[in-house]
Each structure stands twice: as C-alpha cells, then as structure tokens.
Amino acid sequence: MTSALPRPDAVRPDTSGPDTSGPAYPRPDRDRSGRWTSLDGTWDLDVPGGTVPVTVPFAWETAASGVGRTWLERATYRRAITVPAAWAGARAVLCFGAVHHRAVVRVDGVQVAEHVGGSTPFEVDLDGVLAPGVTGTLEVEVHAPADKRAIPHGKQRSIPRDDYDGVSFTPTSGIWQPVWLEARGRTYAARVAVRGDSLTGFDVAVDVAGDAPAGAVVTVEVTAGSGAAGSGGAAGSDGGGTGERVELVADGAGAASGRIEIAEPRLWSPADPHLYVLTVTTRAAGDDAAGTADAAGPDVVAITGGLRRIDRRGEHLYLNDERIYLRGVLDQGYWPDSGLTAPDVDTLVADLEHARDLGYNLVRKHIKLEDPRWLHHADRTGMLVWAEPPAPSRFSPEAAGAFEEQVAPMVERDGNHPSIVIWGLYNEEWGLDWDIPGSTDRADAAVRAYDTLRALDDTRPIVENSGWAHVRTDLVDWHYYDEDPAAWAANVAALADGTGEDFPVRLAADFLARKSLYGSADHPRTGVPVLNSEYGAGFTSLERSWHLRWQTQELRRHDRFAGYVYTELTDVEHEMAGLLDVDRRPKDRGGLEPRDMNAETVLVVDLIPAHAGADLPVPDADLSLDVHVSHHGPGVVRGRVRAAWAPAGTPFGEGEPGDVARGGAATTRAESDTVEAKPFVLSPAARVTVPPPGPVPSARLHLWLVDDGGAVRARTFVDAAPIEEPNRRGERWV
C-alpha cells in the first residue's frame, strides 16, 4: 500500500507559550495581564419598552447576547464598575475592543468618551474619574444605524437594502468585542510599534502618555524568545532574555523611537513561527530604574513580535528572502449563535486550525478586523494572514472619509503581528459603486486609501481594491467565479499570459458585467505579482469539491501566479460556499481531501472535465493522460506518476489502489517515466497509460507521485462515468 501524504498536524510547528483558552486577556500581543479585570458578562440594556439583561460582548442581534433584537438602532448598556483598591496610585484605563457604531461612554452620568467606528478599539483613562475602591455606574449609549450604506459595516445587512444584500448577513450592533479594565503606570506607553522586517532586530516606536510623557525614559528589553531553540516566544515562555536592551528618551511630544539588535536572530516563518517578547518599561524622567519616585512603579507592557520580511520582487512574493506561494482560504469570521463574535476563545482560534488541516498557509479575514487573540494565535502557529477592514456600500466623500479613518487604528492595533503579510483595503469597489473606471472621484478614493496606509506601514504589500479595477496596488489580485470548467481554464490561462485582462462577473441576477484587472490604461501590466484572491463554484458540496479540485489545479498550472484564495472556509447563514458547514463540520466531498489540492506539491492533469462525478466517460480501451507536477517547496522533486483504477468514490487511504472490486479483477498499476519538478516551475508532462477498468458502470482513477525515496508527494484522481446530458424534457413554451 502506498504511504499517505502527511497530515498538516503531523508537521505542525511548536506552539509552546501561554494558553489562549479560557477567560483570556484580550490583548496577548500587548500584554498587561498582570493587573486587569474583565467587564464581560451580564449588563443591563435599556431598549424601547424597558430594560433587559444582555451578555457582553455579543451583539444585541444574536442569541448569545440573550436579546435577539434586529434593527434596534439605539440602546444603552449599564453596569456597576469598580477600580480595584489594589490599583491605588496606578492609572486605570477602560478598554473597548469594538462597539458598533457610535458609542458615548459615561461614568456616574458624566460623559468621559465618544467614539465613532464599529470595528476599531478605543480606551478611556479613568484617572480622576473613578477612584480605586469606589464603585460607579458605567453607561455606554450606542447608536447603530439601520441604514449602514455610508458607514463602514462590511457584510452587515442594511435598511434600505443595498446592492450587496444577497451576500450580507445579520447586523452586528452594540458591544461585540471584549471590555476590560487594566492598570498602567502614571506615565505609560500608550502605543508601541515593533517592526522586525530588517531580520536582524526590531525597530521600536513608543508614544508615551500620562503624567509626564515629555522626557520619559523607555527601556526595551528582549525577555523571551532569544537564545533558546524551541522557545515559543510568547510571554511566559522559557526563552529567557540575553541582555538585548535599549534605553530611549521621549521627546517633548512623548514620542520615543530606536532599535534593538538581536545577537543571534531567529526568523519567524510558517515552518518556524518564532516569537520574541519585548518588555517595554516606561518611567517619568527623574524616576530611578525601580520607579521609586512613582508610588505605582514604572509602567510595564510585554509586546510580541517576530523577525520576518514580506516583499515583492518583480512578479513574485518573498518571505525572508525565500520565494513563497500563498495557498489561502477566505474566512468571514461568523458563528451561528453569536455573529461576528466567537462563542469563546477556543472556538475563535479553532478556525485557524481548520484552515491548516485543509492544507492552507494563509487566511484572508474578509472585510473584518478580527479579535487580536485570533491574530496572536496565527502568530504563534505560523498561519499567514491577509487583513482588511470593513467598507461602506455606497460612495460619497463622507463615506470614503469614514473608511479612511479606520486605517490608522487598524495599523496601530494589528501592525505588530508578523502573521499579517498583506493589507487589504476596498473589496470589489464596495463603497465605490462598482465604478472606479468611470469616476475620477472613486478612483482617487482608492488611491488615497492606499497612500494613507502606505504612509503608516511600508513593510507589507497593500491591495487597494481587491478583485478588479486596480489603480494603485502592490498586488494585482482577481476574483473570478465560473461554473464552466472549460471557460474557467481558458480565462485563467489568459489572465496568466496577459492576453486577457477582464472576465465576466455577475453583480446581480440581471446584471452581468465584464470587470477588468485594471482601473486605468496607465496601470503597469507586468512587473507586479498577480494572484487570485477569490474563486470557487458549485451549488452542492459535491459540486464544490469537484470545482475545488479542477479549478485549483488550473491555478497551479500557471507559474506566473503568486497564489490563490478559495472561497470559503465555512458556511455563513444563507451562504453555503464553505468547505465546512456553519457548525464547522466537514461536508460530503466525494472522497476529496482538500489538503491534497493545497499541498506544496500537486499534480496537474491535462484534462477538461465534463461533469461532477464524471470527468470523462468510462474508457473501453487504454487511457493515456499527461500529468504535470507543480512544486512550491524547497529543492527539486524527482519521481514517477503512478495510476490505478478503484471503485467510484473511493478516497485515498481506503484499500490498495488498483482494487476495482464490484466483481472486477485488480488492475495492474501503471507508471510514468521519471519526471523532475523544479521549485515554482511546472514540470514537463509525464504520460501515464492505464488499461480500461473493465465492465463497470463507473470507476475512479487514482493518480499519485512517488519520489525517488519511495514517499508519496502528491495525489489526485479522475472520475469515469457516463456523461449525462441535462434533462430538459419538461420544458414547455406557452
């Protein structure tokens, strides 16, 4: 029996470090968990008609909140709040992960903050507002407009409906990410940015706030992740420091910046997601190193970072100077009873493991700023992330401005995560009325968003308008859905060789448009990486598995492409396109293992299939197929393609390939001549010829690549069955 491809979890990297399950601190990447208290749980919610209990942080539309009210536009949260007496002398800060959409915060009836933006975090300094040991009343008044067209809302449904209603879901209103209190020093680090793209150390920038930011002394020290092979690199790991530290002095505005070198750098990558912890200690000028002039002691926060660089060279992407191919899946981050908020942290991070088990090395988190604990788990386990904010659905200068206002908070919150390798902005001209080519104002909005983000972060590629109509971008990505395998193969080939620049997109049931990759004639047609970032087809799970197999192989056929993103990981409400259902259970895939299609090494068969379950008719003579090898790993792969018939629907790993059963005799395995696959270059064809499967109504031809060492490196299959034409006998014209 041939050996199976290794399961991804068999080679999963070390994930030692703090557990992310349970009542986890909401910002493990910016750790102040030594002195914090969660405010999640039961609050009162004033709604029209009375007051009801609500469970925070679940949106009031969800069953998990206990409220279940849709199209409620205004409500006020209320609960008692106490700053722990043990925090005397410290500065208590009230933190909100996200509140949709406009929040007014009051303590004992006095307004202390107002925040607009449903996906970005904000905080309230309670110094002088609520003394330690004293209990007060916290109120959060929320306005969540039913008409969301002009505000960033992603795929939340709007009233009146917008053009995206068919792909939109139940709205998320109110508090939908954690709320907590934490203690900081009297003078503290309000923002810490670390960038490890030099690969030899970290560039650090700190904004100091509190009593005396000007002239504050900021010490940055590597306290975990250095000098210990096998350390998980997160706070509390056994990595130990090696004395790598730097002392910075804030300027008159409270800004400090500098660099800390790593003596023996260990890079972060999917294969080795090594993390460092940089402990940032801030004290006012004049305080000694122990902070004895400050009764609360110095401010201390542990920042997680990684040494990694993502860049583009011509039409290719490189991670840490090694070429990389992105095998991604789109994830919308919805759960059936809790909406955009995961039921718990274990469930939140499990979706990353589901993606890994399906063979993907990247998750495109679709128009949603995900919980930082999810991003931290991606950092710890080596999953690459494409991150992007929600957008409005109709264009106006005000809507474009509201979209751009998310960019700086997004970078501040998430920019330290080494797992994020791509920033996305607009998606398919949502919020730009599908009309960049026809509107200078709309094109300018996309360019302005790109320039805004580029000024804040020059370490990652940026996609200004994912899918089509690019005007200023670091990656030319495209979204293309097609049920016709021949048309799919032809259009993908044209996009690969540059002879085609557009493709059909059904924007509504009665609206089919041809969308171009480019929003202007001036955009360069070569020299920029080209990749797919949405594809998939089929109405049933079996059809979708069939399209996944054949469409993915056509993407792998063309060496020009830098990667792909399959749509999608899980079902969401009425959208049934997931590889998993809404409860994260596998679907019937007809014997297909998605990780075979998403492996470093795959087989590409020269065949345009006919129908799901019937790629070709059952042959009654010898069948010859040309098979190529696409290899995106290190080194050269040499081996032979083997083939053998098996009963229809038989997955790999169940019985010896070649056992036809159903009364048929075992067929002789066929084998090709030796084929050699170089990295990122489609191999020449290897021809394999098999005898017919015998007198059977249907059969499955297993194909697998065995390398010179006898290991199975890739596998796929071809289904043979009668090609049945669609039944149209009942059609009548009146």
pLDDT tens figures, 548-573: 999 999 999 999 999 999 999 999 99
Buried b (16+ CB within 10 A) or exposed e, 206-220: bbbbbebbebbbbbb
pLDDT at 24: 87
Provide the residue type at 351 as one letter. D
Buried b (16+ CB within 10 A) or exposed e, 137-168: ebbbbbebbeebbbbbbbbbbbeeebbbeeeb
Comparing CA positions, the residue from 219, 241, 242 lying closest to residue 288 is 219
Same CATH topology for 187-310 and 604-720: the answer is yes
Q: Are 231 and 247 in contact (CB under 8 A)?
A: no
pLDDT at 725: 86
Which architecture does CATH list for 32-184? Sandwich (2.60)
As a dihedral over the C-alpha atoms of residue 167, residue 173, residue 177, residue 180, rounded to 10 degrees, the angle is: 180
3-class secondary structure, 39: coil
Q: Are 282 and 188 in contact (CB under 8 A)?
A: yes
DSSP letter for 159, please.
Answer: S
Biggest CA–CA distance in the chain, Å, is 92
Q: How far is CA 569 from the centre of its chain?
A: 10
Q: Which residues of the chain carry a pLDDT beneath 50?
A: 1-22, 227-241, 291, 655-656, 658-666
pLDDT at 213: 97
Judge residue 246's burial from the number of C-beta atoms within 10 Å of its C-beta, 0-12 exposed, 13-18 middle, 19 or more buried.
Answer: middle
pLDDT tens figures, 447-477: 999 999 999 999 999 999 999 999 999 999 9
- Which two structure tokens, joined as six digits, stand for 339? 């909406």
- Please tell me the number of Cα atoms within 13 Å of 53 on its side-chain side: 6
Superfamily of chain region 325-599: Glycosidases (3.20.20.80)
Helices vs. strands in the chain: H and E counts, helices first: 8, 40
Superfamily of chain region 604-720: Immunoglobulins (2.60.40.10)
Cis peptide before 617 (omega within 30 of 0): no
Q: What residues does each domain of the chain span?
A: 32-184, 187-310, 325-599, 604-720
Which residue stretches of 475-530 are H helix? 485-497
Q: How far is CA 61 from the centre of its chain?
A: 25
Superfamily of chain region 187-310: Immunoglobulins (2.60.40.10)
State phi, psi for 386 to the nearest 5 degrees.
Answer: -105, 115
pLDDT at 296: 72
Cis peptide before 568 (omega within 30 of 0): yes
pLDDT at 242: 53
State phi, psi for 162 to the nearest 5 degrees.
Answer: -115, -175
pLDDT at 510: 84
Comparing CA positions, the residue from 557, 679, 671 lying closest to residue 625 is 671
- Which two structure tokens, joined as six digits, stand for 148? 């969301």
Contacts of 288 (CB under 8 A, 6+ apart): none
**One-character DSSP codes across 176-228:** -S-EEEEEE-SEEEEEEEEE-TTSSEEEEEEEEEES--TT-EEEEEEEESSS-
- Which two structure tokens, joined as six digits, stand for 350? 């499990």
Dihedral sign for Cα 368, 374, 379, 384, please. negative
